[in-house]
Chain A
Amino acid sequence: MSQTIKITYREAFKQGLREALQNDDRIFLMGEDVGRYGGAFAVSKGLLQEFGEERIMDVPLSESGFVGAGIGAALAGMKPIVEVMTVNFGLLAMDQIVNNAATLLHMSGGQLNVPVVIRISCGIGQQLAAQHSHSWEPFFAQVPGLVVLSVGTHEDARGMLHTALQSPDPVIIIEYTSMLNLEKEISTDMGAVNITKAKVIKSGKDISIITYGTGVYKCLESADELAAEGIDAEVIDLRVLRPLDEETFLASVAKTHRALIVEDAWRSVSISSEISSRIMEKAFYELDASVKRLCGVEVPIPYPLHLEQASVPQKSDIVKAVKRIINP
């Protein structure tokens, strides 16, 4: 048995970052305020002093410019980690991400791959309102050529970056602002994790709750509450939003025959709509109830705390939804 330590989600990222920078000279971090300020969310605090200006690089406020520069560096043989402050600003870099990073391998006939890692903060959490708080995983997950990771657990916060840096292709890592201060215990020898598979976080037989990102801990807590009432829910963290690991959730549905998908993103044309379609296409005859979804309300994220909370599914919603499916 290995030892465990208590660690925040933020600290888990920082450990992963530091380890990466120590291991490979080609790796460097660039982004708005990542150096002197220590990162908008203090993830890279102290790293400038440790690794110097060439490895921890503050950049001007131009997402298209610095994400493009990161892509260029990757083409030139470096291994850049580009931090985009929030997902809302990420749209400014969408042209570089979609038209260059995701496409160059194809357009160059396989000659140019782009091993860039782009970290993006996402979701609600600190009352940052409609300017900073959306859940736009589906935008990125739609693009072939990208690997899109969603960091729903501390283990993944600690280990995904390492594996992402091994990828020959561009990887988008979606991190969640609301979880930064959340403390969990992880194994002290926690390191690199797989970035191709979804994960059954809790196994169960009555229903498959399929989720990602901020939904993971909420669904686990819901599953605990449901267990007290005799409902044995299975919780699946998708982890990889592109390419989707359908094998894991289809096998789960084949076991439980019921599915609830939970996400913060807007309902229409979302990750959950894709999951639901694949269940219909490939596991229809396993279903014992129609697939249900809990998604973000389709509004710009509001500023007031109570409205912000009400705009995404909460534990009570998940518990209620599961009960409705099991005992209609």
Chain B
Amino acid sequence: MTEFLMPSLGADMEDGTLVEWRKKSGDTVKRGDIIAEVETQKGLIEIEVFDEGVIEKLLIKEGEKVPVGTPMALINPDGAEAEAKKETASMKKEVKLQPIEEKAEQKVMEKSTKEIRIRATPIAKKIAQDKGIDLSQVTGTGENGAITKDDVENVIVQKGEISKTEKGEKPVDNLVEVEPEKTEAQPFEAELYKMEKQPVEVKKERALTPAEAIRSAVAAAMSKSNREIPHYYLEKRVDMSKAMAWIKETNRERPIQKRLLPAALFIKAVASSLDEVSELNAIWENGLQLKNEINIGFVVSLRTGGIIVPVILQADSKSVGEIMEVLNDLIPRARALKLRSSELSDSTITITNIGEGSADKVFGVIYPPQVAIIGFGNITEQAFAENGMLGIRPVVDVTLAGDHRATDGITGSRFLGSLNKYLQNPESL
């Protein structure tokens, strides 16, 4: 049985509200199907499923707001419907106790697993650290499912790392499922002294307008970035005459709807440069983690204020033309807040393009947990000296903000050098 979980659509997403199930119990789903619509701070997102099988049970009701990583539905990969009813009751129980189910192979889960805090008692953590036990693999039997000293020691005994502990003779009872009413019970004080119990005031949330929600999502992500990431900044003036000439030449053979914009070329050039300087295609989570796929987030500003960052997946394997097609599809839908979940997650680097007729350059703020953001300014005619000659050329100021925990200026500098090389040889892209 597979759990379908509330996906994380960015480091800043904590929860989402299920607006509508697109599938019902008994429906067959395959990878990529839209299973639900979820309201997030980034607007209404269509959520795709990554498993194949038959939906056994929908666990969340429409209108419910649940944290990232919460199981929302059970999917039976074999499609064996017969057992469905019998199993669901016990599954639900298990679900509550084990929010940290291993689902590493699922792309969407990758982030949310890391974000769930493991509940363990102080001494359990200490023992686990001393003995090198991975707490995410331990089932907790303590208060609210917390991992206790006994739980860790039982795992140690099972692993045979120590032959006998102080509590070794105790029966291994942590594998026995805890009765459900125990986990749901109030703390005992509440029962004893109800008059003392202060009702925990649940803050009634006013539904945010999409603009407010996006504003607050941007605020959260950018505050985190500024708080945690030591940025370094580099800047490179790039002569765009060859690139602009190449675009003009190429567009001559293309129908109007398919004409290329410099943005597509920029994205392609960034993707190709990341192939050479892979350290910038990474995330910083417990250290630098290089990413294999080059998925480029592209900042789209919204007319109502705020920004949204759709992702161009595997941009290095797409041609400039293909990237342009993706942009033509993504940008209008992004502005209408009609993106799918896979189009918002998993970006490994971000490009911000300040566009025409505006500021000359842009110094970006890194979108955590990424380690760099590339900024393209306005393409303007400037005096440009080359080979002892002064000429008027179309020039763009390219900036790079890098996470100094992850890389140094020399890395960023190599990247900008590579980018310049590609923009001087656009036909090579």
Contacts and interface: CB of A to CB of B under 8 A. Distances in A.
A285 B123 contact: yes
Contacts of A320: 188, 192
Interface in B121-160: 121-124, 126, 141-144, 146, 148-150
B142 A288 contact: yes
Contact of B121 (A267, A288, A294, A299): A288
Contacts of A299: 195
Contact of B142 (A285, A313, A328): A328
A299 B193 CA distance: 11
A292 B189 contact: yes
A293 B123 contact: no
Nearest to B178: A328
A257 B149 contact: yes
Contacts, number: 55
Contacts of A61: none
Contact of A328 (B124, B141, B189, B192): B141
A297 interface: yes
Nearest to A321: B188
A284 B126 CA distance: 11
B83 interface: no
B123 A286 contact: yes
**Counting chain A CB atoms within 10 Å of each CB, which of B144, B187, B188 scores highest?**
B188
Given A257-B149, A328-B143, A328-B144, A287 B121 contact: yes
B188 to A, nearest CB: 4
B142 A294 contact: no
Contacts of A257: 121, 123, 149
Question: Chain B contact residues: over half helix, strand or loop, or mixed?
Answer: helix
B212 to A, nearest CB: 37
B121 A298 contact: no
Contacts of B122: 284-288
**Counting chain B CB atoms within 10 Å of each CB, which of A267, A287, A317, A328 scores highest?**
A328
A290 interface: yes
Nearest to A267: B196
Contacts of B23: none
A327 B148 CA distance: 11
B192 A289 contact: no
A320 B190 CA distance: 12
A88 B189 CA distance: 27
Interface string A313-328: 1000100110011011
B114 interface: no
A317 B126 CA distance: 32
Contacts of B124: 288
22 contacts: A257-B121, A284-B122, A285-B123, A286-B122, A288-B121, A288-B122, A288-B123, A288-B142, A288-B149, A289-B142, A289-B143, A292-B188, A292-B189, A293-B189, A294-B189, A297-B195, A298-B196, A313-B192, A321-B192, A324-B187, A328-B142, A328-B144
Given A288-B150, A289-B121, A321-B189, 8 more contacts: A257-B123, A285-B126, A288-B142, A294-B189, A320-B188, A321-B192, A324-B187, A328-B143
Q: Which 3 residue pairs spanning A and B have beta carbons closest together?
A: A328-B143, A324-B188, A288-B149
Interface of B: 121-124, 126, 141-144, 146, 148-150, 182, 187-189, 192-193, 195-196
Interface of A: 257, 267, 284-290, 292-294, 297-299, 313, 317, 320-321, 324-325, 327-328
